[in-house]
Structure 1
Amino acid sequence: MTMATTPTDDIVLRVEDLHKSFGDNTVLTGIDLSVRRGERIAILGSSGSGKSTLLRCLNVLEMPSKGRLFLDGEAIGKPASNGATRYREAELNRLRARVGMVFQQFNLFPHMTALENVMEGPLSVLGHSRAEAAERARRHLAQVGLAEKADSHPARLSGGQQQRVAIARALAMDPEVLLFDEPTSSLDPELVGEVLSVIRDLSEEGRTMLLVTHELGFAYHFATRVLFLHEGRILEDGPPEQVLKNPREERTRRFLDRFTAFRI
């Protein structure tokens, strides 16, 4: 397989020889990935292929078993003798502020309002004043179409609204890279569109984004690049037109055959 080439001066995030195992279960095996500034990458693959684990390793919510991570060309952590990497907590906090994550299950604090959920990162991680954090939170709630829900608790919001609050929370950290881990998989079908619309709007701002999704029609129109993972490896890597309509690999073709039509 021919991997996409990337000018080194434009790479914002890079992993080299990334491995991740949980006990005897090997999930990722030798992932090499460079992400250019402004790229929108859709990550596809069957259940268990390692998609979500890859995202969680990119901001070290899961500790890689082996491999190196670089942000803006700077190595994160120090190599250990066993091939793993040692990370300091302050270093991880800085990394996670710069590489934001939106999860499947929203992960909002139920006792906080939408506004307070979005304020929490700027207050506790970035050290902003309450006034500054609140102004930033209101701006990003408005950006995702939820200005009027600032004082609502998660229990009083629909699933789509909760996910949009989670997106606003990630945006409030002003990340260089946004990671989306199947952000619509927990939503009722009628709520999927409102979340995808927000993600599409963000893509038009030129943000660097990686999205794990099963929404192939959306991936086709959203992505500048598509990865197909199989058994913990990147099996296919290329533009949407090539990977989704003219895949090189038989395993990719079998995966795509399960989808009779693209939809958005």
Structure 2
Amino acid sequence: MTEFSGSGDPVRSLELLWRVQPAPKRGPKQRLDLDQVIEAAIALAGEVGLAALSMRKVAERLGVGTMSLYTYVPGKPELLDLMLDTAVDPPTPLPDGGWRARLEHLARENWDRFHRHPWLLEVTPLRPVLGPNTIARYEHELSVLEGIGLTDIEMDSALVLVSAHVESSARRALEAKQAEQRSGLTDEEWWNARAPVLERVLEPERYPIASRVGAAAGEAHNAAFAPEHAFVFGLSTVLDGIEFLIQARASDA
């Protein structure tokens, strides 16, 4: 089941994200604060997945009644927006070097975040979560591309391109990991079990290119699919494309 960001009350989500609190209500003092609710929800999502996350389970985790949780956040859609913004890595010092090394550094940070929080891949960004961490991260990433010869639209598009590659690569990597866990077989064991039949039916003379390339890739990666290699190769290729655009723009100037 896919969850959608930005599907709740947009005004209330923004108020909660930026901690713009309404006038306090009369009544007993609240036992928790909003950050505790968010942290509990993130921990639960990491354990049971986003689809199984509910307001009731978060309340049980915190030791409070379900209805009391609604005094902190209107519902799961708004809570999801808060979780997404909280999970964003805060800006960190960039490495020495040019824009390419710095953009690669940022891509690897995002790759690591998906592995720390696999539930992020269960979210479809219906609308952007315009929280403080998300905006700070966007500003930080744009600063890497500032002044290198791209237009403002191209700067945004370059980040979208890199982010899309990181997300799709992380998804494939985590799916491969889940397949191994669910089958109880490593990728090597899975292929070894099928090797005797494949050797009989796959004729190198009939499939010369597939046989040669498949054998080379399998020997190099010891598997049919190498998530880390796919991520690194794809990222390098994407950065090559951005660099080509910058150089072409400079040569036309």
Indicate the TM-score class for this superposition, using the shorter chain for normalisation. Answer: under 0.3
Instruction: Select the structure that is richer in strand.
Output: 1
* TM norm structure 1: 0.26
* Structure with greater helix share of residues: 2
